[in-house]
Structure 1
Amino acid sequence: MTAESAGATAPREPLFAISSRTVVFGAVGAALYAVLGLFSFIIPGTQNVTVRPAFALVPFFGKRFGVIAGFFVGFVGNVIIDLIQGSGLTYWNWSVANGLVGAIAGLIFAYIRPSRSEAVRLLVTAIGSLVATALGLLFVITDIWVQGISFETFVTLNYLPALFANAVAVVVLTPALDAIWEPLSKRTGR
Structure 2
Amino acid sequence: MSTEAFSPRHSPWAISSRTVVFGAVGAALYAVLGLFSFLIPGTQSVAVRPAFALVPFFGKRFGVITGFFVGLVGNVIIDLISGYGLLYWNWSVANGLIGALAALIFTAIPPIAGEAVRLVVTAIGALAATAAGLLFVITDMWVQQGVDFSTFFYVNYLPALLANGIAVVILVPALDAAWEPLAKRAGL
Identify the TM-score tier after normalising by the shorter chain.
Answer: over 0.9
CA contact (8 A) 1:10 1:111 kept: no
Where does residue 135 of structure 1 map in the other structure? 132
What is the DSSP-based 3-state SS (H/G/I as helix, E as strand, rest coil) of the residue aligned with 1:182?
helix
TM-score (norm 1): 0.95
Q: CA deviation at 1:6?
A: 3.7
Distance in 2 between residues matched to 1:25 and 1:65, nearest whole Å: 7
1:13-60 deviation digits (Å, cap 9, x = unpaired):
333221100000000000000000000011110011000000000000
Distance in 2 between residues matched to 1:173 and 1:153, nearest whole Å: 29
In the TM superposition, 1:140-155 aligns within 5 A as 140-148=137-145, 149-155=147-153
2:50 matches 1:53: yes
Q: Percent identical across equivalent pairs?
A: 74
Distance in 2 between residues matched to 1:177 and 1:22, nearest whole Å: 19
Match of 2:5, as an amino acid?
A: T
Q: Which of 45, 66, 77 is equivalent to 1:69?
A: 66
Distance in 1 between residues matched to 2:127 and 2:4, nearest whole Å: 20
Distance in 2 between residues matched to 1:175 and 1:156, nearest whole Å: 28
1:105-148 deviation digits (Å, cap 9, x = unpaired):
00011111121111011001000000000000000000000012
Where do 5+ consecutive residues of structure 1 fail to align?
none
Q: Which of 160, 167, 181 is equivalent to 2:179?
A: 181
What is the DSSP-based 3-state SS (H/G/I as helix, E as strand, rest coil) of the residue aligned with 2:111?
coil
Match of 1:142, as an amino acid?
A: T
Where do 5+ consecutive residues of structure 2 fail to align?
none
Where does residue 5 of structure 2 map in the other structure? 9
CA contact (8 A) 2:30 2:70 kept: yes
Where does residue 159 of structure 1 map in the other structure? 157
**Number of equivalenced pairs:** 186
In the TM superposition, 1:72-151 aligns within 5 A as 72-148=69-145, 149-151=147-149
Match of 2:173, as an amino acid?
A: P
CA contact (8 A) 2:68 2:97 kept: yes
CA contact (8 A) 1:9 1:114 kept: no
RMSD, matched Cα: 1.0
Distance in 2 between residues matched to 1:15 and 1:29, nearest whole Å: 16
CA contact (8 A) 2:12 2:62 kept: no
Match of 2:3, as an amino acid?
A: G
Q: CA deviation at 1:61?
A: 0.1
Distance in 1 between residues matched to 2:10 and 2:182, nearest whole Å: 20
CA contact (8 A) 2:75 2:95 kept: yes
Q: CA deviation at 1:10?
A: 2.0
Distance in 1 between residues matched to 2:140 and 2:162, nearest whole Å: 18
